[in-house]
Structure 1
Amino acid sequence: MRMTTLYDLRDEDWTDDVKHAIEEWFLEPRALIFCVYFKGDKLKATSDIPLSPVFDLTYFLRQPDFVFKAESFHDDIVFGTFVDSVEANMIQILEYVYAPYFFAINTWPDSVKSEFCSHIHTFLAKLTDMYYKMLGLTVLYIPREGQQLSFEAASADRELVKRLEGVVVYWTHQIKSCIEDQAFVASQKELLCPSDEYDFWVYRHENLSALRHQLKNPAVKHITKILVTTHSTFIHQFQSLCEEIVQKINEATSNIEYLQVIKQPCAILECVVDPDEISKHIPQIINLFRFIWMESPYYNSETRITNLFKALSNQIIILCRTYINLDELFGGATKKALGEFSKCIDCCKKYREIYDTMAEAHNEMKPNSWELDTGSIFNYIDSFVQRCFDMLDVCNCMIIFGRIDEMENINRPMFGGAHGDKFEAKCDQIEHMFQDALNNVKRVSYSILDVQAPSWYDDILQFRTVIKDIEIIIENLVETVFEGVNHVEEAVVALYSLNNYSKRKNLKRIFKRKTAEVWAMFSEEVQEAK
């Protein structure tokens, strides 16, 4: 029962029926396979493979008509566990069930067997690498072939040595890739924060340590000894990389120790809700970055410190992005959104000011001591600020052209006179044009604050093109309305009806001109009244 490894298996799952099925299998040598698995919450044990899918399954195999003995049972039984991973099951079956039979064949021509077994090793090495790489691990495929031979006997088998060389070449490739993995690889939509940098070095330390542990495996040492004895040309690079692993583990250990100092301050920063509070935490974090820069034996390069500052920029963007509620904005809360975007812009500007002030202070104390790529550090910050400005414009347009304001009820433009209905229809057309443009922005709301999504630049350009068309229509409307004005009272009513449009910066000029014309008209009427 201890050889069965199923998820959430408990002692109480071993019912009398299961134990009886186990006894029957031992007493029936013709039954070649025995399976233990869960069907629902109930443990099942049968000499057949289940016909319906199961989460995991432990199997036991015997050769035909083989009778087990208690003293040699563990040596004679072949067993394993299938899980819900196709790759893991394939590795297990091929490596522990089929491959040993092929390696033991002695009736094939040497060249045929060697080529076939080489392909098995290559396939298993690549499949093992791929499967564990998806789990974030570097795992070596260790061939079982030749393990039962002394290194002298194995060294005399030239075909075996060639096959083992192929495996070691792949090990070399894996180790080299692991060593060169110096930076956290983010997905396209992921912004990395300082805590991610710390987590990466913890992961790197664990991965390298696990790799070093694998290299201490007696089977690996046995293969290494065989290739050293045969003076293989591939073994020297492998051994050199093995020594380099120790150096890289020391580097990871040191980086973890130094990055540990920013873990708590950055964790506190991650909990900040209001962008106005972010700037209070920035100086301490920047000072700790500077401490790491000056004191760490491995993390003192400009590239790595620049990456730390980029991670801090990302963290600030994430906090600001969380603070902004686009759903509320598109639900009509334009004034609230104006405040949110303005706060985030001020926060990003303060961050840049604090950085520049501290960098300048350090350079005054020690010239050229703070030389980092500020363009790279603030690239996303600048992009985020620009997007906030874009949305400030959208918010203002919602108020002016869409009459969307949660704090004020903006009346629909009303006109008198013979052409009043025509003017009101034109205002309705303007509002419909704007709503269509706004709906297009709403459809791409997922990319508005995503600084890694360049598609937003095309979307906001399209929006502004429509706004430009609307402004031209309004200018023409104003001119047309005032063409039919005969006295001051009608002019004042026209200005009042169009007043909401006058808040648009690009339209202020025409409204100022028309206001001046109304004053001139009023002055003329006063003079005539005298």
Structure 2
Amino acid sequence: MAARAEVRTERLALEADPELAGTAEPEDEEEDGEEDEEAAAARRARRFARDPRVSFLGGRLCQVLRLPEEKWSQCLESEDNRQILGGFLESTSPDCLVFGVPTAGQLVAFPEIPRDAKHKLVYLIKKTAESTGEKDFSRTVLFGELPVLSLTHITTFLDEILVPILSNKKNHKSWSCFTSQDMERHVEALKNKIHVFRGKMSRRTLLPIPTIAESIDLEQDYSENRLQSDERKIIHAIESVVIKWSHQIQEIMAKALVQPLLNGHRLTPEAELDFWAVRRENLECTYRQLQAPVVLKMAQILQTRQSSYFPTLKEIFMAVDYGKTPVPDPGFTITVCP
């Protein structure tokens, strides 16, 4: 009865005030139109979600990203997400699809890997360039993850997949000798650069070890006069990497405490303590790498073969050993210039 009274009251008010009636009716029609659009969008999302491929994809994504099922439903409410996903399912291009949770816990679809991603991503790749049917979808689509720190993912991919494949001589059968050797050099250079860069990201100096050094027999005596062909390759690889090590050690020693002052920054006691602590830890880490059995064996080979690079390697050992010792005590009182 109360509801009927309210309706009757509103109707009487509109009849009593024509201006109010004239303005109210369009607003009601506009609200009805918005409700119709929302209802239509909800129907499209439900109809799209009933596709078995979409259901399979949502289940896998929620499992990998550890999201509740309602997050997938909210993702499908977006027309943009449905268009991107529909294009992946029905057309031959794109054949790659990426999902992530960039902000506010909302699942978003991307047609390609976003450059500024700061969150975990899940990607899908088609095994075939054709439209994927409902029955074959689970067998023709590959899932993969891209972690927040992509560098770790890249180094793992290089070390465990790319480098072994490109270094395997069985995969070089259709190549010429020169192409095979050139590929080996490029792969070695790429692996060393990634190894060094990974160290810089962790504020450490990582010394690259030649791949061919893995074949060094630690028990073999390399003091014989005549060199075998494989031994020549080993010595050349060692001498080449000694030059890289020398540049890396020079970079550590050349880094000065006054560099922030030269850049216009104020040097605080905390910054100075951090500088010496990082320098000491870095040199100790480098020293441990130089004491590895394979590195000591590399030094022995250069010494017994009287290589002209042995004095350089000896200087590297001495510089690191000397540099890691005479550093200020962190408890020492530091005077900072104004």
TM-score normalised to structure 1 length: 0.33
Larger Rg: 1
Higher relative helix content: 1
TM-score normalised to structure 2 length: 0.49
Of structures 1 and 2, the one scoring higher in RCO (CA 8 A, sep 6+) is: 2
